[in-house]
């Protein structure tokens, strides 16, 4: 059995992961999916990481998973709890000293935004589920975006990246380049949009369970 700490993206809630959590339970795994303080203008990335670490509590050997903006928080958590693995799911990959608000320019994502209209991140969800997701979304404070990412290097933690081939927000070609340039690895891929935890929860849970089998202590 493994435990996963699931970190949501910007302006979202832990509910984003609820279908994946149910699938992980069916596979014998545990998980926590806290709400980050994204509406709190006094909270920055350290406070986001603290919220996840507090939710983890005294659990050991927790695999840290993050989606979208959560990629800036996940490595901080992984380092603090000495995670056996870190999994980024169509997530932003920070560089040392980089401010989240500068990520778009430094990766070239700002050019993508200029060339395409704002994408619907819920395009591959059933309408009822998409409506639920929209109703639960929250405001995202600018505070975390203004401070440099505090780590001097990527944590010494085995890292995997799940790329969503139908993602209209972070296009697959763009993310393959960012993953190669910033992590030096080839991503694993799944046919899903940006909100894969809602659109393909069983397939995503299978991938996470597979990582647990590879990176659990003693493996």
Please name each of the domains of the chain with its CATH number.
3-212 (3.40.50.1820)
**Would you say residue 219 has pLDDT above 60?**
no
* pTM of the predicted structure, to 2 decimals: 0.96
Q: The tokens of 12 are what?
A: 């979202």
Residue that wins the pLDDT comparison between 182 and 216: 182
List the one residue out of 185, 171, 11, 15 whose CA is nearest residue 86: 185
Report the distance separating Cα 21 and Cα 11, nearest Å. Answer: 20
Structure confidence at residue 119 (pLDDT)? 81
**Would you say residue 137 has pLDDT above 70?**
yes
Phi and psi dihedrals of 16, rounded to 5? -50, -35
Number of helices (H), then strands (E), in the chain = 9, 6
* pLDDT category of residue 184 using cuts at 50, 70 and 90: very high
Structure confidence at residue 217 (pLDDT)? 65
């Amino acid at each position: 059995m493994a435990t996963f700490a699931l970190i949501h993206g910007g302006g979202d809630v832990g509910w984003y992961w609820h279908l994946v959590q149910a699938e992980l339970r069916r596979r014998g795994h545990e998980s926590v999916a806290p709400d980050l303080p994204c509406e709190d203008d006094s909270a920055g990335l350290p406070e986001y990481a603290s919220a996840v670490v507090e939710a983890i509590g005294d659990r050991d050997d927790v695999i840290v998973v993050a989606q979208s903006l959560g990629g800036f928080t996940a490595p901080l958590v992984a380092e603090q709890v000495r995670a056996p693995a870190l999994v980024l799911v169509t997530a932003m990959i920070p560089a040392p000293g980089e401010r989240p608000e500068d990520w778009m320019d430094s990766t070239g994502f700002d050019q993508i935004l200029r060339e395409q209209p704002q994408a619907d991140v819920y395009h591959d969800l059933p309408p009822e589920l998409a409506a639920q997701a929209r109703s639960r979304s929250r405001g995202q404070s600018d505070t975390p975006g203004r401070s440099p990412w505090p780590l001097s290097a990527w944590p010494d933690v085995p890292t995997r990246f799940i790329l969503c081939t139908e993602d209209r927000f972070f296009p697959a070609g763009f993310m393959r380049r960012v993953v190669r340039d910033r992590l030096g690895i080839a991503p694993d891929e799944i046919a899903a949009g940006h909100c894969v935890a809602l659109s393909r929860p069983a397939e995503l849970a299978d991938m996470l369970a597979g990582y647990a089998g590879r990176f659990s202590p003693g493996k």
